[in-house]
Amino acid sequence: MAATAQAISAAEAERQELRGLLHKKYRWLDYKFDIVFWITAAFVVGAAADITKLLFAGDWDFWTDWKERRWWLVVTPISLITFPAAIQYILWDKFRLPIGATVCVVGLLLGQWISRVANFYGWAYFPLNFTWPATLIPGAILLDCVLILSRSYLLTGIFGGLLFGGVFYYGNWPMLAPFHLPVNHHGVLLSVADLQGFEYIRTGTPEYIRIIERGTLRTFGKDVTPVSAAFAGFVCSLMYFVWHFMGRALSTVRFIKQI
């Protein structure tokens, strides 16, 4: 019996050693697959989020003179909390990584900068200070922070969604503030952003749908700004739960489940 047990243990040890050698030999394939998968996933998620923003936000986030205090700070965060909510659930539920929203938004921002530099500046000759993309990184960080502190999707949707939409305007204010300076253009009081809109004519954007309120500097943030920010936060909370369940449905795909 002792000899049999020793033979079994020796065979098991040899099997384990062989398995370790095979694992070491082909481990580089696993690493390469991980690198290819995550890089591809980053580009796919960023492109999908950018297409969503193009469909729902459109010109509101293309041009500086459209980044105003009413619609821009409402439609942009509402249309862009979609993918962060879904990716956040997948990364937290499957990998226990509380960085889903931040990763998604950073990938989107990098893709947007590549597009604005290559297309709007390099191809159409619009200056970057007229076509810079808005950032959602502050709201995404807060969304992930609420998740890791509360470990509750309900609290993340309520408070994280409110913060995601509420801080959007104020997170972009350092970039937007210089374009809110007043200028006198032929006797008309305008902001620098609106003056840029007059100087750089966009043939694809009908100028008659731009609303220029003479003498009121519509791009100055007045009383309507906090109201619009609060409304954006409220709708972002609702949109978070919708796309949270979209991410939950997507995570049931067998491929993602096996990973």
Q: Which residues contact 12 (CB under 8 A, 6 or more apart)?
A: none
Asked whether residue 2 is assigned to any structural domain, the reply reads no
Parallel, antiparallel or unpaired: strands 188-191 and 182-185? antiparallel
More confident residue, 4 or 55: 55
Asked whether residue 5 is assigned to any structural domain, the reply reads no
Asked whether residue 189 is assigned to any structural domain, the reply reads yes
Is residue 17 pLDDT above 70, yes or no?
Answer: no
Asked whether residue 6 is assigned to any structural domain, the reply reads no
In this prediction, residue 7 carries a pLDDT of 52
Q: Which two tokens stand for residue 30?
A: 């696993």
Q: Which of 88-92, 159-163, 216-220, 235-239 has the lowest mean pLDDT?
A: 216-220
Is residue 196 pLDDT above 60, yes or no?
Answer: yes
Q: How many domains does the chain have?
A: 1
Q: Tell me, what CATH number does 156's domain have? A: 1.20.1450.10
Asked whether residue 91 is assigned to any structural domain, the reply reads yes
Task: For 41-54, write each residue's pLDDT tens digit.
Answer: 778 887 888 888 88
In this prediction, residue 215 carries a pLDDT of 41
Asked whether residue 164 is assigned to any structural domain, the reply reads yes
Full domain range(s) for residue 201: 14-258
Max mean pLDDT among 1-5, 176-180, 252-256 falls in 176-180
Is residue 153 pLDDT above 90, yes or no?
Answer: yes
**CA distances (Å), 183 to each of 146, 194, 197, 199, in order?**
42, 9, 13, 14
